Structure 1
């Protein structure tokens, strides 16, 4: 809680009293709230989140995915560091974890072990290693104490969310927080993640565009996940000048197709859209998929409801849209017609890429701003009388992440033709 207070203090100090008043005012007005932070205060805020790890750092990662809509462009660039690196654990702590999992002679298992992590995230950090029998591995090693801090982290975030007015009127967010709590506990169990990774790898099969690392069970525990090492850079680097439009379009198309397959074909969704979970290898053109702790099965009944809703939205059948939304829980059976129409209008707007003929230019689209503005107004209006199942929270996170990535890469995708195969 002390760390959360310090981080929030840096945020408040950076915005200033006037800025906090403006932020509160803009949250009630028509324009999206935009946080004005100086580079110095942004770095301090980011550094605090990087040291906090766990659930609080995950919040920061989500804020940074397309932070230009909440932060200034300069602040968003600094915040993006949260997607790839947390503060690494001290050497003594790292050795303590390795000894606890592998024994005091842990180093005898490896021909080479790099003590400097190649990546650090919210729950653990990744080290490159080579076993004595020649296997090139990436070892994801969990930060000590993360599993024990999850419950207090969620409680602290709930307090912060209520303080900043992030919960809609009339909706009990406790079930959603409980689902987030359960999800984080699953993510902190690397043995469970290894099982999810292998199941997902079987579903993907031999794919020319995607690579799923294999698990090495002899070195995998509840706190260490041993996987094949894969070369590559974070997928959002493709937005830079060193990569061609064709590469950006192909990468975004591959991952958007994967999102559709996960929901409508697999019934198994990797729900963490952090850009750092996708590595692009320019030599092969393949994308390595990482981090399967947030993998969730989706009930066949819910999959069919989403298919029904998507088909009705594409066709413009508002009565069928309404029926699907009621069945999922987005609206209540007896909600006023005005509220229902507002929800259906928002749904049709958000489905714009699915209804567009030909290539949809995500880079030139202002769809995010339009849906953000209208959705936020509904969110704070008190129009909601019901809420969908808590597990939809993670599906929404994945859908948003796929859109954000396509937007970041300024990709052009014929999403309508692609989706027709699944819907």
Structure 2
């Protein structure tokens, strides 16, 4: 595959072949079982062949198909282990790579958007892409002032391809359901459709990335590359080395995985409070683990001490949620009350916010029982996220016979919480892939308005949180703003 398939009929044919392929493999498997092969072995072979076809097609088509694959990949932890094995390698491929766009097409876009003399802007430009994503690919280059830069070039026709893919995928969303037990794929596809225009707008992405780069410029833990140049289909940012999070998941030390998990949680909860923006595409391909600054050092020979100096690099701000006041205080209030066992107060709050519709009556204690296992990581000083924990949660909610499943069907997700909910679930999915031990409660106490009770006379910041609970970086920023 040398270029992004642009004709709707071509893309539709490729996607339409997926359900036919699923059916064909089921028939093939039946034949193998009739021939005497065990059901378990046949099932594994069918799963492997299905994974190979599904993610080969999604990766080749890029666009909305690959975007869906990336969104699904963070939920791999929820799959039963006997099913997850065959899919894991195929899912991981989507997080970091896709077939490249030919150099001639790249040069044409650069000439159109940067001018015919675009090469004069760079001291060097590598025609081989270093990464490929759903709507564009990244090339390494050296800017004319000597800075190493990443040049993101949007695929021609990416917008039409995204919309076409997601429309087609929604038609057989039910067939994709078994990939993530308990998750309705169709709303996810609808949401991805709604975000198409934002993903294509590199000017908006540049503003979001620069806002984060400026806020985190002196942060010892989180690194965001500066924006160097931007045009309609080209975005140039500072280059970021580091270990892709997918590699940390596969081969990282325990200390590195714990550190990556802690910083991922910190970025999720601190970002909205510090920038008014929520990074809304938390799949592993958008993060790097960076080695310590040359001046930072851990105790020699102590792997965990060394790992605590590593930093989190954050990429791709094409999808963000605008939260001017930070994360809604309702989330922190509800978490605090749930952990405190106040079923009636939690229930009334959820009803007031629209999580429980007026036409529905539920038992407050049953709602509390439904929520407590989900927020278990916030109940303790540190929590080890794992695939087994994630699978247990998914099975509890997905099993039609369970009370949790029946109650969950009656809950509602207000539109204003939709993206926050998906980002939180996706982040938890990545933490489970990392198998990270995380002090999540520390991050909630520092950054989530409402999680800590407000004492009488306590000074509040704009998010409703006492400023003495904020980390030094946030307290100092507020002092500057106030001055």
TM-score normalised according to structure 1 size: 0.84
CA offset digits 1:87-142 (Å, max 9, x no partner): 11122222221222122222222211101110001111100011232121101111
- 2:234 matched to 1:224? yes
- Say whether the 8 Å CA contact 1:267–1:303 is kept in structure 2: no
Match of 1:295 among 308, 320, 325: 320
Match of 1:360 in 2: 383
TM-score normalised according to structure 2 size: 0.75
What's the offset of the Cα at 1:349? 1.2
Number of equivalences: 400
Match of 1:4 among 11, 15, 25: 15
What's the offset of the Cα at 1:84? 0.7
Residues 206/8 of structure 1: CA separation in 2 closer, same or farther (3 Å cut):
farther
What's the offset of the Cα at 1:314? 1.8
- Say whether the 8 Å CA contact 1:236–1:405 is kept in structure 2: no
CA distance in 1, matches of 2:67, 2:147: 31
CA distance in 2, matches of 1:111, 1:255: 34
Residues 151/315 of structure 1: CA separation in 2 closer, same or farther (3 Å cut):
same
What's the offset of the Cα at 1:74? 3.0
Which SS does the other structure have where 2:149 is aligned?
A: strand
Which SS does the other structure have where 1:349 is aligned?
A: coil
Deviates more, 1:132-141 or 1:2-11: 2-11
Match of 1:190 in 2: 202
CA distance in 2, matches of 1:83, 1:63: 10
Between structure 1 and structure 2, the one with the greater Rg is 2
What's the offset of the Cα at 1:55? 1.8
- Say whether the 8 Å CA contact 1:129–1:136 is kept in structure 2: yes
Match of 2:391 among 351, 369, 372: 369
Match of 1:131 among 114, 134, 143: 143
Match of 1:345 in 2: 369
CA distance in 1, matches of 2:265, 2:44: 30
- Say whether the 8 Å CA contact 2:149–2:239 is kept in structure 1: yes
- Say whether the 8 Å CA contact 1:208–1:286 is kept in structure 2: yes
**Unmatched segments (≥5 aa) in structure 2:** 1-11, 31-42, 294-309, 452-483
Which SS does the other structure have where 2:195 is aligned?
A: helix
CA distance in 2, matches of 1:49, 1:146: 14
Match of 2:255 in 1: 246
- Say whether the 8 Å CA contact 2:77–2:391 is kept in structure 1: no
CA offset digits 1:171-225 (Å, max 9, x no partner): 9x78x766432312101111110011112223334111111100013xx112111
CA distance in 1, matches of 2:416, 2:345: 23
